[in-house]
Amino acid sequence: MNRTTSRLLALLLTAASLTLTPGCAPAAHDIRRPEHPPPGTTKPAAATSVVMPPPQARGDPVTVSGSIDWTGHRPGCVSLTLESGQRFQLTGTTVDQGEQEARSGHRPTQQRARVTGHIPPVGATSCGPWRAFWADTVDPAAT
């Protein structure tokens, strides 16, 4: 084997050992996703504010507590105001259903709730100068 071939082989073996070394990257089972707690258990405290991701990035999944105005100044403008004062345009399939229920009288027009979701990358919002918050789940808060 010549010198160039042995250097190339050493480089390849080093690269292979780095990619196969345990702990360099999280295994699929190590990645935490938001889950609903088993029945009969208490839910962890919800956040009162959200760390804003860069405009082009999606935020991490988070559960927050705040006040929802289901019937904003026009259809599709559901707002979420957190206890910290942060305000978001609430979006998602769950939100569409909640807005329809509020407009038809089957849900209060304003409601305290726990919302689990994420902040999507910046896009156009027609409801105000705030970021969107994509809701996966909306649970009415106990009063």
Q: Under 8 Å CB-to-CB from 88, ≥6 apart: which residues?
A: 50, 79, 80, 81, 82, 119, 130, 131, 132, 133
Q: Give a yes or no: residue 30 inside a domain.
A: no
Q: What pLDDT, on the 0 to 100 scale, is given for residue 16?
A: 42
Distance CA 139, CA 66 (A): 11
Domain containing residue 85: CATH number: 2.40.50.500
pLDDT in tens, 71-121: 988 899 999 999 999 999 999 999 999 999 999 999 999 999 999 999 999
Mean pLDDT within 10-28: 43
Residue 81: inside a domain = yes
31 in any annotated domain:
no
Count: domains in the chain: 1
Q: Global pTM?
A: 0.67
Task: Answer whether residue 116 is part of any domain.
Answer: yes
Range of the domain at 133: 62-140
Question: Of 46, 133, 141, 136, which Cα lies nearest the Cα of 90?
Answer: 133
- Reported as a single tens digit per residue, the pLDDT across 31-58 is 334 444 555 555 667 888 889 999 999 9
Inside any domain, residue 102: yes
Residue 7 confidence class, pLDDT cut points 50, 70, 90? low
